Amino acid sequence: MTTSSVSKGCFVFKPSAKKKKVSLTEADYFNEGLKDPEDGRTRFESCQLLWQQMKLQTEQLQEELNRKLFDNLISFLKKSHLDFHDKRNGWSCRARSSEIPTAALLLGVNVTDHELTFESLSEILNDQVTPFVVLLQAKECTGIKQLLQKLLSQLMGCSADLDLDEEEDHATVSQRKMNCSMASLCGWYQKVTKKSISPKKKRSSSPGHWQAPPVVVVFKDLESFSANVLQEFIVISSRYIKELPLVLVFGIATSPMIIHRLLSHSVTSLLCIELFQSLSCTEHLATVVDKLLLSNSFPFKLGGKVLQVLITIFLYHDFSVQNFIKGLQLSVVEHFYSEPLSVLCCDLPEMRNRVKTLSHNQCENIRHLASFMSYVENQTPEIQVKLLTKDSYLKEITQTFLENLHSYHENFIPVLRCLHQFTCILPKYPLGKQIRELYCACLEKKVWETEDYISALQFLGMLAKDELVATLQKCVEVLKPYSTKQLGSTLKKLEEFLVQFQCLEGEHLENVDDEESAAQKGLQKKIDLYNLQKTLLEMKETRRTKKPSRFESLRLEVTDFLNSLVRDYLAPPETQPLYEVVYFRAANILRKHLNALPRIALHTALNNPSSYLKSLESEGGALTSTAPDICIAYKLHLECGRLINLYDWLEAFATVVNTNDDSDSDSLQPVDEITHARFIRAVSELELLGFVKPSKQKTDHVARLTWGGC
């Protein structure tokens, strides 16, 4: 029988086969947005391999730079630990006076880098000193109760590494639930340490731990802690210092004086403070630039403007070396993502293999490079035809160009270091005090054509002998690793200069001419004005025609030789064909990502919402009812003065919103509740963004806080 209603039927729908979700990898996201997807996988793998190598180098640098600081800190902990446990003469003087060993760790204003330093410190202490390391932050310790809870929770978490039986483990859990006090902490510490050193049990802690390890409490951001919380904690801890080997570490970003500003004299007298200074962030940056950018270990290079953007952000925003490294990582990713020929940005042996397998499209990409086109223009017509038509010939030339680019970098860096050795000792530092400033100048243009370089040569022509010889010796040390390469002849020439300067040790560098001395004697006798003028002119002419000494001649030869080196080896990268393969020069993209301009972004979003909302059609800045309410209110407020009448603003808003509604075409009709609510919400959002604020002059007005379009 047929059913008269759908509700009386029974329908069966077989479930369709579910498609398995394919998880996208990083390489898939990388290849998805490529303009030229050819060799996308190879480019991603090359990018990943290169950054892993650079990241490993930065981590090794971080360890080397912090090694001295951490060694001194561990030595301090060991000394305080031995003082605490000296049982031959009873309690030590420190224990009797209830002083808490405290390390004031001055890390600098680069707060974003402190987290990595504390993580490394915690790992080293856990490996070599003690498993009881507590890291505290001010936002987690608003009161003394919260501080003690955080302290005990982290310490009892550390006890999981020790070999405890079930009863003790149960006691630990009950302590965690019952109360958080220093007395319970001392009892817990005694049980844990006795159990860990018991001869019946094998020690499960690290072999580097001491027999009775101290409890290290690290205050990451001392400036942010409440003074009352710190004082209460120190006073309470000093009463238990004979039972608990407590050591405090203060992480300080500004100055050690902050300790005396936060703590009273009676509280600071309970601390035995020792100051530890970390390496400055500028020295850290100089090391990173030297090992990563001024090195031939990595094929990737930064353009002059890109490097200047990263350094400017470092110097004028955060002093963060970690953010500088993140900017370098972004540059690597952007280069391999946006440049199709970055597939050739690899080691020299691998590059030769990849050049042989270039496709026709990649050859066309090479032909469109600006540096390659400038090279083609200077060739004969026959060579031009072969370069533009024959891929096999182009591959041979490409391999030659990349090999020449590799040789260019091998010579560029040593000569740059030699030039820096000369310019860093000059007064006023015409080419910069740091080598990164000189590096940027050499990357952007021909440095020998600048006024700063000309003035530097003039200063070099006036160097004293000891300064000149010392600088030459430093240059010899720089060029020694390159003695078997192209710069070997340069090294021999510098060594010859040193030998010649050594031969001048017995000679007088400055001699007074006999005629000059006679003229001076004549000046003492003759007082006639005409004869005086004549004698002075003769002395001036004698100085002009005076023959330079041997030292002055050698100094001039050194200056000329250095000038020739600069002109031969420090030409900007733009002079090298196919430099785009290894150089990232998109400074605007990097600045857009790292140095955002929020006001311009807000104005663009509110004035032209179609730039962010693709569903809207661009109206060229005109007021339309389809735009978001906040955009309509924002454009209307731009037409007002310092004070904005809310009623007039509401009327204008309702007129724009209801332009397409025929029933509301009469402007005399009252505004409906929905439009009123939309207006209130838009004004509240503008107030939250900081464009308007309530005015005390008139209750029905708001004050405008911005002027101009953006």
Domain assignment present for residue 36? The answer is no
Q: Point out the least confidently predicted range of 352-361, 450-459, 526-535, 696-705.
A: 526-535
Say how far apart CA 510 and CA 544 lie, in whole Å.
16
Q: b vs e for 493-503, b when ≥16 Cβ sit within 10 Å of the residue's Cβ?
A: ebeebeeebee
What residues have CB less than 8 Å from 180, skipping those under 6 apart? 145, 148, 149, 151, 152
From residue 54, alpha-carbon distances to 132, 280, 350 in Å are: 33, 22, 18
Q: What is the pLDDT of residue 543?
A: 63
Say how far apart CA 281 and CA 288 lie, in whole Å.
10
Please tell me whether residues 237 and 291 are part of one structural domain.
Answer: no
Residue with the bigger pLDDT between 655 and 83: it is 655
DSSP, res 140: G
Please tell me whether residues 234 and 375 are part of one structural domain.
Answer: no
Confidence class for position 490, pLDDT limits 50, 70, 90: very high
Confidence class for position 192, pLDDT limits 50, 70, 90: confident
From residue 373, alpha-carbon distances to 189, 292, 364, 576 in Å are: 74, 31, 12, 12
In this structure, are residues 123 and 116 in contact, taking their beta carbons and an 8 Å threshold? no
pLDDT tens-digit readout, 513-524:
444 455 455 545
Please tell me whether residues 576 and 616 are part of one structural domain.
Answer: no
Domain assignment present for residue 76? The answer is no
pLDDT tens-digit readout, 217-256:
999 999 999 999 999 999 999 998 888 889 999 999 999 9
Among 279, 303, 319, residue at a domain's last position:
279
Residue with the bigger pLDDT between 651 and 3: it is 651
Residue with the bigger pLDDT between 344 and 610: it is 344
pLDDT tens-digit readout, 252-275:
999 999 999 999 999 999 999 999
Q: What is the pLDDT of residue 178?
A: 44
Would the pLDDT of 186 be above 80?
yes
Per the prediction, the chain carries an average pLDDT of 84
Q: Point out the least confidently predicted range of 201-205, 401-405, 422-426, 553-557.
A: 201-205
Q: What is the mean pLDDT of residues 391-419?
A: 95
Domain assignment present for residue 118? The answer is yes
Please tell me whether residues 250 and 390 are part of one structural domain.
Answer: no
Q: What is the CATH number of the domain that holds 634?
A: 1.10.10
Among 561, 584, 607, residue at a domain's last position:
584
Q: What is the pLDDT of residue 584?
A: 95
Q: Point out the least confidently predicted range of 183-187, 610-614, 620-624.
A: 620-624
Would the pLDDT of 21 be above 80?
no
Say how far apart CA 113 and CA 109 lie, in whole Å.
9
Say how far apart CA 516 and CA 295 lie, in whole Å.
54
Half-sphere exposure of 392 (CA within 13 A, CB side): 0
Would the pLDDT of 208 be above 80?
no
Cα end-to-end distance, the chain, whole Å: 74
Would the pLDDT of 165 be above 60?
no
- Looking up tokens 């070396």 gives 321
In this structure, are residues 214 and 245 in contact, taking their beta carbons and an 8 Å threshold? yes
Among 279, 306, 335, residue at a domain's last position:
279
Retrieve residue 40's tokens: 């996308």
Q: What is the pLDDT of residue 417?
A: 95
Please tell me whether residues 571 and 610 are part of one structural domain.
Answer: no
Please tell me whether residues 350 and 243 are part of one structural domain.
Answer: no
What residues have CB less than 8 Å from 200, skipping those under 6 apart? none
Q: What is the pLDDT of residue 25?
A: 76
Q: What is the pLDDT of residue 621?
A: 62
Q: What is the pLDDT of residue 11?
A: 57
Please tell me whether residues 263 and 301 are part of one structural domain.
Answer: no
Q: What is the pLDDT of residue 680?
A: 93
Q: Where are the alpha helices (DSSP H) in 465-549?
A: 465-479, 488-502, 514-525, 529-544
From residue 399, alpha-carbon distances to 49, 235, 355, 370, 403 in Å are: 22, 72, 7, 17, 6
Would the pLDDT of 135 be above 90?
yes
251: enclosing H helix or E strand: strand 246-252
Retrieve residue 572's tokens: 């900007």
Q: What is the pLDDT of residue 542?
A: 67
Domain assignment present for residue 349? The answer is yes
652: enclosing H helix or E strand: helix 646-657
Please tell me whether residues 430 and 579 are part of one structural domain.
Answer: yes
274: enclosing H helix or E strand: strand 271-277
Domain assignment present for residue 161? The answer is yes
CA 483 to chain CA centroid, Å, is: 34
Q: What is the pLDDT of residue 128?
A: 86
Domain assignment present for residue 352? The answer is yes
Please tell me whether residues 576 and 611 are part of one structural domain.
Answer: no
Backbone φ and ψ for 203, nearest 5 degrees, come out as -75, 125
Q: What is the pLDDT of residue 421?
A: 95
Domain assignment present for residue 664? The answer is yes
Would the pLDDT of 473 be above 90?
yes
Q: What is the pLDDT of residue 172?
A: 45
Q: Point out the least confidently predicted range of 81-85, 137-141, 678-682, 691-695.
A: 81-85
Q: Where are the alpha helices (DSSP H) in 289-434?
A: 304-313, 321-338, 348-356, 360-367, 370-377, 381-389, 391-423
Domain assignment present for residue 328? The answer is yes
Retrieve residue 688's tokens: 């939250």
Confidence class for position 442, pLDDT limits 50, 70, 90: very high
Please tell me whether residues 460 and 560 are part of one structural domain.
Answer: yes
pLDDT tens-digit readout, 675-692:
999 999 999 999 999 899
pLDDT tens-digit readout, 37-46:
778 889 999 9
Q: What is the dihedral of CA 293, 294, 297, 299, to 10 degrees?
A: 60
- Looking up tokens 């060694």 gives 71
Residue with the bigger pLDDT between 20 and 286: it is 286
Say how far apart CA 300 and CA 293 lie, in whole Å.
8
pLDDT tens-digit readout, 588-600:
999 988 887 888 8
Tell me the β-bridge partners of 465: none
Residue 105: strand, helix, or coil? strand
Q: What is the mean pLDDT of residues 411-425?
A: 95
> What is the secondary structure of 549-584 as a DSSP string?
PHHHHHHHHHHHHHHHHHHHH---GGGSTTGGGTEE
Would the pLDDT of 499 be above 60?
yes
Q: Is 170 exposed, middle or buried (0-12, 13-18, 19+ CB in 10 A)?
A: exposed
Q: Ramachandran region of residue 340, left (φ > 0), alpha (ψ -120 to 50) or beta?
A: alpha
Would the pLDDT of 166 be above 80?
no
What residues have CB less than 8 Å from 34, skipping those under 6 apart? 40, 337
Q: Point out the least confidently predicted range of 190-194, 317-321, 457-461.
A: 190-194
Q: b vs e for 426-458, b when ≥16 Cβ sit within 10 Å of the residue's Cβ?
A: beebbbbebbbbbbbbbbbebbeeeeebeebbe
Confidence class for position 200, pLDDT limits 50, 70, 90: very low
Q: Ramachandran region of residue 103, left (φ > 0), alpha (ψ -120 to 50) or beta?
A: beta
Q: What is the dihedral of CA 286, 287, 289, 290, to 10 degrees?
A: 110
Q: What is the CATH number of the domain that holds 267?
A: 3.40.50
Q: What is the mean pLDDT of residues 195-209?
A: 49
Residue with the bigger pLDDT between 485 and 353: it is 353
Would the pLDDT of 54 be above 70?
yes
Confidence class for position 372, pLDDT limits 50, 70, 90: very high
Domain that residue 632 falls in: 598-704
Please tell me whether residues 344 and 384 are part of one structural domain.
Answer: yes
The share of the chain scoring above pLDDT 90, in percent, equals 57
Q: How many domains does the chain have?
A: 3
Would the pLDDT of 15 be above 90?
no
- Looking up tokens 């290894």 gives 582
Please tell me whether residues 258 and 341 are part of one structural domain.
Answer: no
Residue with the bigger pLDDT between 194 and 686: it is 686
Confidence class for position 157, pLDDT limits 50, 70, 90: confident
In this structure, are residues 443 and 573 in contact, taking their beta carbons and an 8 Å threshold? yes
